[in-house]
Amino acid sequence: MTTRVYEPTPSKQVAFLGLGVMGYPMAGHLARAGHQVTVYNRTASKSIAWCAEYTGATGQNGLLNHAPTPRQAVHGAELVFCCVGNDDDLRSVVLGADGALAGMAAGSILVDHTTASANVARELYALAKAKGLQFVDAPVSGGQAGAQNGALTVMCGGDLAAFEAAKPVAMAFSKAFTHIGDSGAGQLAKMVNQICIAGLVQGLAEAIAFGDQAGLDMNLVLEVIGKGAAQSWQMDNRGKTMVAGKFDFGFAVDWMRKDLGLVLDEAKRNGARLPATALIDQFYADIQQMGGRRWDTSSLIKRLNVK
């Protein structure tokens, strides 16, 4: 994990809902940046552990808390961040008598980092507006390592004023925090991101399998072609681990299939043609059948009978 240098920003009272592999370190960066953070997680023991870890790391005794419901967690917060699994998980923490919208103060902002559908983003934006609140859909790219290092790329949809108010605080865990457009645009941009990743990983898998079959030293080949036009983040970060047959590096196949499902559903609505993406989604289904549900996305190479 790299050492993060925090830019000074005024301390805010914030809440963070969802302490999974992404949310746990993201909330931690908010605490390290000096913000007063209250967390909520469906499994309360994780919230308790988070408070113990970051109180010790930051010395913010009494300024880091956990709450038993989202509604209680957001009490008094100027900004509420959320990072959960899918549309249904998002609705479960935002809506209802114990949901975030029921407890947020007028004018406060909910920034959702879940990778979800554009439709649920627009739905929650409208519901927030009706309550005098603000909602920004803000899915992230960079994976677990990006969350741990405070180096996520964040794509945002919603009102510009809400985006600008959230950005200085969100930069605690971001290297880029960009307004893409109206509500739902952040989620659509994340779909573009996942389409690109799926194609890149499949191309890299086929290239490594081809080179291996041809008897080449693929670590050497990757070093050479990584200095030319074939270079990509996937090649730099996953090429040699694919050669080594190691697939325990973050973003899991199950989550990629969830994301590609969102992509393909959206494509049916907007008429986009995604033949390669649809095919690679089925390749990931093959990996699931091979027992690789928790392998990382570079495990596509396992389908290709690499020696």
Catalytically annotated residues: 190
Strands (E), the chain: 13-17, 36-40, 64-66, 79-82, 109-112, 134-137, 140-141, 152-157, 174-181
Burial 222-245, CB ≥16 within 10 A → b, else e = beeeeeeeeebebbeebbbebbee
Question: To which residue do tokens 């407890």 refer?
Answer: 103
- Helix, strand or coil, per DSSP, at residue 230: coil
**Burial status of residue 97 (CB atoms within 10 A of its CB: 0-12, 13-18, 19 or more):** exposed
CA distance 91 to 111: 14
CA distance 81 to 90: 11
Residue-wise DSSP of 194-219 = HHHHHHHHHHHHHHHHHHHHTT--HH
Question: To which residue do tokens 């095919």 refer?
Answer: 279
Tell me which residue of 142, 172, 147, 143 sits closest to 1, measured CA to CA: 147
